Amino acid sequence: MVAASERMRAMRARRKTEGLREVRLVVPDAREKAIRQRVAHQVAGLSAASEQNALDWIETVSEFDETR
């Protein structure tokens, strides 16, 4: 049987020939109590006007994408 490291190396090589690149993301673990508290604190500090501005921008951009 082929070792896992060799299979990964082969998979990366195949993807590279296909023009793909592996990207790794490190994100906060939402299962952690401290992270959930931090997010809740940040959400509580959001302003309705700022959120509406962001939603308006998203709507404008999505309408732009539909014209293709």
User: Of the given ranges (8-12, 23-27, 33-37, 62-66), which has the lowest mean pLDDT?
Assistant: 62-66
For the cut 90, the answer to whether the pLDDT of residue 38 exceeds it is: yes
* Three-point CA angle 51, 31, 47, nearest 5°: 15
16 — pLDDT class (breaks 50, 70, 90): very high
* Neighbouring residues of 63: CB distance < 8 A, sequence distance ≥ 6: none
With tokens 């998979």, the residue in question is 11
Contact 30, 39 (CB under 8 A): yes
Cα separation of 40 and 33, whole Å? 11
Cα separation of 61 and 64, whole Å? 5
